[in-house]
Structure 1
């Protein structure tokens, strides 16, 4: 509990009286709602042009094309990196004229219906779909011809999601009725590889986190599990798991408003809950293409939750590797298997006192040198390590220092160099900003390839000699440039975002800030959103937009994140909205993130409260007597917990799709951050236990078809509040899944109204409908 010192009570009451007087008579008009509506994602996007280059690189040459939103419509641009040439991909007017004749309707040159567009630079040919037809264009002659769709040669063969072709193209494996089949692509002959598969014993499959099917006498409406097999490079063998669902248990959803008929329909999906032993398991098998022989690897069965995929390495069929975690993610182990004998050995095992984060792992085996590239937090920061594949020992820590390697982008085996992205190395900037670097295997010659103080989004050419760099910040509009990978030097400018219409609508850059966390030492970062008609002489309620899930960063770092969000529209109604990433979240040191280990119930609350209070000292127009909070999913847990744990600070909360008790969540997520087995801290950090603390206004929202965070989470929270005799509001949205989006932005406007009515104390514009 956060308490006001006794000597400050009188001043606090007087301040409250002054603020109450200041905000008395505050109103919200339809014009405010229209302005908020204007800044919704789908509307604000129409006000920004040339914001991003999404290159489609040629497979053989350093040439790419991209599609661009401009003021006159959609343009297509071709870039030749070697020759430093940028020009239109085709003559828009000529293509529009020719296609208009063929489709017998007039087409705008900058609004062409080019679906599934592909371009082959070698012969300057473009293909696309338009008017339910496929077209081929010779860009040298501008000849447009219709192309016949390829016929399917085997109507009894299965869907693409159940096909896997061998590297040499000679074979295709598929799954029919739970068993694996092999097809000779030349002769068309098929061979059955397994015959003991059943509905509970499925070959070549692993469970996704949600696999819904309609209950009843048939399971025909359920999508089959995606085929999961791995081919050896010489196409002589393949490896696949046998998924055992015997002990797996299901969750259920009831669709009360079905698409047809009047009877509610039930759906089910396999879902392991934290701490449960009744989970799906896997057993690995190797199959010989020539002999059709099947051999079990001498490991397993292991829980489907923690198993990776076996992968081949080298030119032959003599080695397999797989990365596997333990439940609770306290370790990650690299296994090596001999496909001939089935023998399985451990290469190395990474162990942590908390968890080895699977979201930060990058594993790459270098067969030609018998080495492994591996990301590890063993020194407290996520860094690159070089291992000896035979001994399992570290040969070299490649990167080091107080910064975080986000991912390995490319490994140049010949020159023994690594391209990687990282944040926090440059001392003069926000540590979350992502940059590209190059370094030698021995840790020497570290080079920054993207120097601008911004976050950089990189896309490489097929030969990794060039890359397109889209960079921006929340307070800097995007630029796109083409660079050389050798030294990061700029080849040419590509685009600079045109945001004139956005600014004409009143939009202003959100304000980034840096403060100290609760420990008084650690820097934490956030942004402030103000309404476009902001008046510093007015008093504004404050809303905390939250998501403290340890795998995420809530505060946007890019320009797109800064304007495409749900915070700015909310601010337009007359609020100050803040984001801040407190202790326990991602993107920083292991110590920073580990603050939330076995401690998800902390939700960064003290950091958020400290931030809002310090910002209010800097900006007196922020009214800390009227603070609300909202969040979705793990953020929904945060929002409800905040108003229950800190009722003297947070007055209004909107909690959507919240996982209020981690014992009901999908097993891997809580087990990663709360450990396994599920100890008493799971019970202690359940929001249900705090239901009796509710003093403010709380809105619970959930979709009844949410297969990510099950609706029972919100029903249980509601039940606890009812048992505690607390007044709250609840909205169950029929046929909505986890996202809650859809027609008329109903939920968004409901959230707006809730804060307007209960935090601002104004009358909402009831029945406002977003267009």
Structure 2
């Protein structure tokens, strides 16, 4: 960015004086006063002319799948509606078979981990209008065959197959056992870090099912108490491989539907298998494998008839190779792929033989989302940071890299949902000035057809509240121009001194400084600004969307360069004449909690206060896939783990520290906080802490968030809200670059 950008909250912030504005309260934030209106998740019908939406009335326990026309936005049909008399229960999610003849309906769904769910499922036949229950007990991840006549699913770590015409159920695997063998469903660490649950897939003609098998036998078991409401607590036990420990042994298998036989596939002993995906040719399966260091990825072609496997493509990186879903097979099984090989994330086109045809996109910017390929027009659709790393725009480009067209026109965050035939798309737009707006556009030109939904009512409501603009700029720290935003009090007076409260996350590839509408934390920051604090957020080294090298500089040293940048930024900001250098705080959640803890300790001459929510305190306690991707194993890199762990220097604590965790956190275990508490106690350091019983990593439910943010707000007021210290004025320096 060449100049500081100040984005105002539309008309109500353009007025010089607004009378009777009220301050945002925690009850407003967590009571839902500022909830935005959104569009329900829609699924495009294959004809590209209609889409479906799930409409739910929880009060009356009624749900329906309704079909709408893209162009008119009018409802054209109700495909299915819950009706107990007809044997169609109240359902909360759905999916179609490939031929759109049948629909899977999910009921009685319960959460397992972040992405996984158990539920009772039905298959609804659109022709007969009859619903068939798949299993009497709860199952996972049912998937209809391409013709809709069969459904594969997982139950109690085994795979099953229901033939709908005959009603016969076959068991595909028999060795599934809790905390030992899993068939067709990922283990905890795959689900959390590779972000998928269903580890089986139908081929294009329904003759084969490929699936992964996880042998967790030698993975160490983790347990945590669940306090609940009964007389005695229970224990949750699951396999959780911590950094340096043994992972599940994963293998690929091929099931032949006609013969009922299963064949293991030899892939040269892969350490990880993070994705499987069938090609258009029903005998061709693509499989991605990774070594333990995750810096050598292979894309394999597996023949479902001969069971032979060959490597189509190999990606290597000195640090690591990211796993994404950016893989599309064209009609001839040539394929589109994304890679950071030239220093930024871009799109590439390969032949069916794995040979590179051409690099489709290129430039000093990042492709942030790959939407797909239109075979009729030969165009590829994607989202990128071509208009600045804090913004997102939508583009189309020919597969040969020519005729690039910007399809979005407004500066901010644009996201697209395309029709199945890529003729139109719904653009979701927001910025710091504009809450989410939804509009229909032509995919060929980006021309807007019509507005669909906005949040003008929210804007009108917010006009009665005291809000300050979010000012974007860059700040030069350790030789890098880092993206930053600042929020000042509405009645900001440059002659006064204000406490500085910094917020960050800082994890690899993340971004907090972005031109998008407010979330709950933004409203909280607005509340704090109205009470006399200056809020600042800086995305330091290791964060994303500024190129491979900027992101991967933290390799083997998580918590070193990121902490140096936050400390240096706080010091530089404290040189501003309106910042009180004796009142500087920082906070963060998860990785951000790890960061805020380290900043308070290593920057004890800079920060007077820190809040850490659900922090990692030693990467030795975190899981293999995430941690080793950036740190290698503790055995290989002990200094990287220990020199950046706050457990090893609690004696450095000088400022005020609030430490918070949920006891039921299956992700960042409460062990991290307990060990930090013990380290501080043995160093005879005073601090404050809170545990939320049975709460997971998000620490929510009922009044939990309100309680947590009340506690954090009180802590800030107590430790940063004192009267400004009397200091000699410091001349303003050239520090925030234009």
TM-score band w.r.t. shorter chain? 0.7 to 0.9
Give, in whole Å, the separation in 1 of the partners of 2:411 and 2:141. 45
In structure 2, the CA distance between the partners of 1:580 and 1:502, relative to structure 1 (3 Å rule), is farther
Q: How many Å separate the matches in 2 of 1:285 and 1:86?
A: 45
5+ residue gaps, structure 2: 1-19, 56-64, 78-89, 97-104, 107-127, 724-738
Residue 571 of structure 1 aligns with which residue? 529
Name the CA distance, whole Å, in 1 between partners of 2:438 and 2:340. Answer: 32
Bigger-Rg structure (1/2): 1
The one of 294, 300, 318 equivalent to 1:353 is 318
Q: How does 1:252-651 map to 2 (within 5 A)?
A: 252-255=223-226, 257-261=227-231, 263-276=232-245, 278-299=246-267, 301-303=269-271, 306-316=272-282, 318-358=283-323, 362-366=326-330, 368-390=331-353, 392-423=354-385, 425-426=386-387, 430-498=388-456, 499-520=458-479, 522-532=480-490, 534=492, 538-561=496-519, 564-602=522-560, 604-615=562-573, 620-651=577-608
Q: CA deviation at 1:610?
A: 4.3
Query: Structure 1 residues 178, 300: closer, same or farther in 2, change over 3 A?
Result: farther
Secondary structure in 2 matching 1:254: strand
Distance of 1:606 and 1:39 partners within structure 2 = 36
Do the aligned partners of residues 210 and 417 (structure 1) sit closer, same or farther apart at CA in structure 2, a change above 3 Å counting? Answer: closer
Deviation at 1:39, TM superposition (A): 5.0
1:32-111 residue pairs with structure 2 within 5 A?
A: 35-37=24-26, 39-45=28-34, 57=44, 60=47, 62-63=49-50, 80-82=69-71, 85=72
In structure 2, the residue matched to 1:752 is 713
Distance change >3 Å, CA 502–CA 583, structure 1 → 2: farther
- Kept after mapping to 2: 8 A contact 1:382/1:405: yes
**How far is the alpha carbon of 1:640 from its aligned partner?**
0.5
Superposed, 1:135-150 pairs within 5 Å as none
**1:375 CA displacement:** 0.6
Shift of 1:662: 0.5
**Residue 60 to residue 339, structure 1, CA distance change in 2 (3 Å):** closer
Q: Quick one: distance in 2 between partners of 1:612 and 1:455?
A: 28
Cα distance between partner residues in 2 of 1:60 and 1:545: 46
The match for 2:8 is none
The structural deviation recorded for 1:197 is: 4.2
Q: Does 1:204 align with 2:184?
A: yes
Q: CA deviation at 1:660?
A: 0.8
SS of the counterpart of 1:310? strand
Structure-2 change in CA distance of 1:81 and 1:652 (3 Å): same
Q: How far apart are 1:61 and its partner, in Å? A: 5.1
SS in 2 for 1:45: coil
Contact 1:211/1:270 (8 A) holds in 2: no
Deviation at 1:527, TM superposition (A): 1.9
Q: Deviations over 1:710-733 (max 9, x none)?
A: 011111111111222212222122
Quote the residue 1:735 is aligned against. 694
Matches of 2:262 and 2:342, distance apart in 1: 43
Indicate how the Cα distance of structure 1 residues 330 and 566 shifts in structure 2: closer, same or farther if over 3 A, else same: farther
1:251 corresponds to 2:222? yes
| Aligned residue in 1 for 2:115 | none
For the structure 1 residues 62 and 509, does the alpha-carbon distance in structure 2 shift closer, same or farther, using more than 3 Å as the test? farther
CA distance in 2, matches of 1:53, 1:204: 29
- 1:352-406 Cα deviation digits (max 9, x unpaired): 0111122x5622233x33422111111101011112231x332201111101001
Residue 464 to residue 562, structure 1, CA distance change in 2 (3 Å): farther
Give the whole-Å Cα distance in 1 for the aligned partners of 2:257 and 2:41. Answer: 40
CA 1:239 to 1:117, structure 2 compared with 1: closer, same or farther past 3 Å? closer
Between the aligned partners of 2:685 and 2:151, the Cα distance in structure 1 is 61
Deviation at 1:701, TM superposition (A): 1.0
**What TM-score results when the alignment is normalised by the length of structure 1?**
0.77
Contact kept? 1:467, 1:484, Cα under 8 Å: yes
Contact 1:357–1:672 (Cα < 8 Å) also in 2 = no
Q: 1:329 offset after TM fit, Å? A: 1.5
Q: Does 1:173 align with 2:139?
A: no
Q: Per-residue CA shift, 1:597-630, capped at 9, x if unaligned?
A: 2222126334334444555555x33222200011
Q: What do residues 291-329 of structure 1 show as CA deviations (whole Å, max 9, x unaligned)?
A: 1122111126544xx31243221243x211111222121
Match of 1:687 in 2: 646
Relative to structure 1, is the Cα distance of residues 517 and 561 closer, same or farther in structure 2, using a 3 angstrom cutoff? Answer: farther
CA–CA distance in structure 1, aligned partners of residues 452 and 155 of structure 2: 49
- Distance, in Å, in 2 between the alignment partners of 1:516 and 1:528 is 11
Question: Alignment length, in residue pairs?
Answer: 648
Q: Secondary structure at the match of 1:715?
A: helix
- Give the counterpart of 2:677 among 706, 712, 718: 718
Counterpart-to-counterpart distance in 1, 2:32 and 2:269: 51
Could you tell which deviates more after superposition, 436-445 or 740-749?
740-749
The answer to whether structure 1 residue 653 and structure 2 residue 629 are counterparts is: no
Return the TM-score normalized by structure 2. Answer: 0.80
Answer whether contact 2:614 2:668 (CA < 8 A) is retained: yes
Shift of 1:334: 0.3
Equivalent residue for 1:163, pick from 136, 139, 142: 142
Determine the C-alpha separation between the residues in 2 that align with 1:54 and 1:234.
Answer: 28
The 2-side partners of 1:211 and 1:705 are apart by 18
Q: Report if aligned partners of 1:329, 1:675 keep a CA contact under 8 Å in 2.
A: no
Whole-Å separation in 2 of the counterparts to 1:210 and 1:378:
25
Q: Deviations over 1:477-516 (max 9, x none)?
A: 5443221000111212334432444433323243232223
Inter-partner Cα distance in structure 2 for 1:690 and 1:721: 9
**Pair 266,33 (structure 1): closer, same or farther in 2 beyond 3 Å:** farther
User: Which residue is 1:665 aligned to?
Assistant: 622
State the partner residue of 1:25.
none
Question: Does the CA contact (< 8 Å) of 1:53 and 1:67 recur in 2?
Answer: yes
Over 3 Å counting, the alpha-carbon distance change for 1:627 and 1:77 in structure 2 is farther
CA distance in 2: counterparts of 1:731 and 1:554, whole angstroms: 26
Distance 1:534 1:372 in 2: 55
* Whole-angstrom distance in 2 between the partners of 1:173 and 1:77: 26
CA contact (8 A) 1:53 1:470 kept: no
1:183 maps to 2:177: no
Maintained 8 Å contact 1:65/1:89: no
1:34-90 deviation line (CA, Å, top 9, x unaligned):
7432552544415x6x6768666555453468899xxxxxxx9997554xx467999
